[in-house]
Structure 1
Amino acid sequence: MTKFTHEQRMKAVLEVVENHMSCNSIGKQLGCGETLVRRWVKSYEQFGVEGIILKHGTYSGEFKQHVVEYMHEKNLSLFVTAALFGIPNGTTVANWERLYYEEGPQALYRNNRGRKKNMQSDRKIKENSTGKIQSANQVEEDLISEVQRLRMENEYLKKLNALVQERIVRENGKK
């Protein structure tokens, strides 16, 4: 995804607002979609020049909850809500909404950024010979049972070999 500077965004917005050009034509000139240009224009109309400046940051749990609840209370779209609250992207609001409804409002208060600290071994998966996916614990159990089966088979073959040798000795001794 191409990042656009503040100047590029501002120039595109002014072309739409002052020169009455279409968002589609500006989007084609910049090599981006018309939706992105339309979002910049809405941010500009809502917040002025400040709405065009990229704002990235960490939001509090209370703020996230307020945004999601306000969006549903007023029946607003993701991108309109994002523009209203000065959030750079509607996808961010969509992620908050998903967390809110899947895990509850308390999920918005957790800091889920960054890499997870440990990967548990039972989360690792492997395909077995039949093509089924198994957890690491299941794979370990299958390997242990295979080792036991092979040991039993080995003992059986040793006993069979001993019996065959004994029979050969007996038959050779009779003649």
Structure 2
Amino acid sequence: MSKHNRAFKLKLAKLAQSIPSREVGKRYGVASSLVRYWSQVYSINGADSFKHPHQPYSLKFKAHVLTTMTVNGWSLSYTSAHFDLSSQGILFQWHKLYAQEGLSRLTPRKNSRPNMTEHSTTLKPSAEMTEKELREELDYLRAENAVLKKLEALAQARKKKAKKRP
């Protein structure tokens, strides 16, 4: 989701056609580089700017954008403005990932959190546990005990320090 809505971007892009982007940016509290980018998008795409019809961007679209940029020798800024990308940074990331790991790294990834794993709340009786499980539990309990001892020592040190202060 974009921080600024489409109407606001169009308004500032039109203003930047006649007024310097630094002044427009100061007047509306937006970075002048962003205003310049919006102005460039507007000058290339006109009134159909800032619609971003390709989100989420497919692998085919990303490959097409990168190929077009390379074949025509376009800059990152001009290419992202030409394809009406939401920002120049997106194309920079695609270009970097493509250079590092190839086309396979550009596949869209799921942005949701992983599902929580179900941990059993009932403990196995120690008679049913394997030796490895018993050793892991012993190590865990020793670490837990050490943490609790450290916490208790810190609490006592704070109390002692508080008593010393008048």
TM-score interval for Structure 1 and Structure 2 normalised by the shorter chain: 0.5 to 0.7
Task: State whether residues 6 and 54 of structure 1, in contact with CA within 8 Å, keep that contact through their aligned partners in structure 2.
Answer: no
Match of 1:45 in 2: 43
Q: Displacement of 1:43 after TM fit?
A: 0.8
**How far apart in 1 are the matches of 2:83 and 2:54?**
13
Amino acid at match of 2:110: R
Say which of 108, 111, 125 aligns to 2:108.
111
**C-alpha distance in 2, partners of 1:3/1:48?**
21
Q: What is the alpha-carbon root mean square deviation over aligned residues?
A: 3.1
Describe how 1:49-64 pairs up with structure 2 within 5 A: 49-53=47-51, 55=53, 57-64=55-62
Q: Cα gap change, 1:14/1:111 in structure 2, threshold over 3 Å: closer, same or farther?
A: closer
CA distance, structure 2, for counterparts of residue 118 and residue 55 of structure 1: 30
Question: In structure 1, the residue corresponding to 2:27 is in which secondary structure?
Answer: helix
**Equivalent residue number for residue 7 of structure 1:** 7
| Runs of 4+ with deviation above 6 angstroms | none
CA distance in 2, matches of 1:3, 1:117: 26
Q: Deviations over 1:50-81 (max 9, x none)?
A: 11445561222121112122223333222211
- CA distance 1:111–1:57, change in 2 (3 Å): same
TM-score (norm 1): 0.58
The share of aligned pairs that are identical, in percent, is: 28
User: Structure 2: which 5+ runs fail to align?
Assistant: 117-135, 143-166
**What amino acid does structure 2 have at the position aligned with 1:7?**
A
- Which has the higher Rg, Structure 1 or Structure 2? 1
Q: C-alpha offsets along residues 21-48 of structure 1, whole Å, 9 cap, x if unaligned? A: 1100000111111111111111111010
**Structure 1 residues 37, 118: CA separation in 2 closer, same or farther (over 3 Å shift)?**
same
How many residues get paired?
A: 124
Match of 1:72 among 70, 73, 76: 70
CA spacing shift, 1:87–1:73, aligned 2, 3 Å: same
CA distance in 2, matches of 1:54, 1:26: 23
Q: Return the letter of the residue paired with 1:113.
A: K
Q: Which has the higher contact order (CA 8 A, sep 6+)?
A: 2
- C-alpha separation in 2, matches of 1:70 and 1:14: 27
Where do 5+ consecutive residues of structure 1 fail to align? Answer: 120-139, 147-175
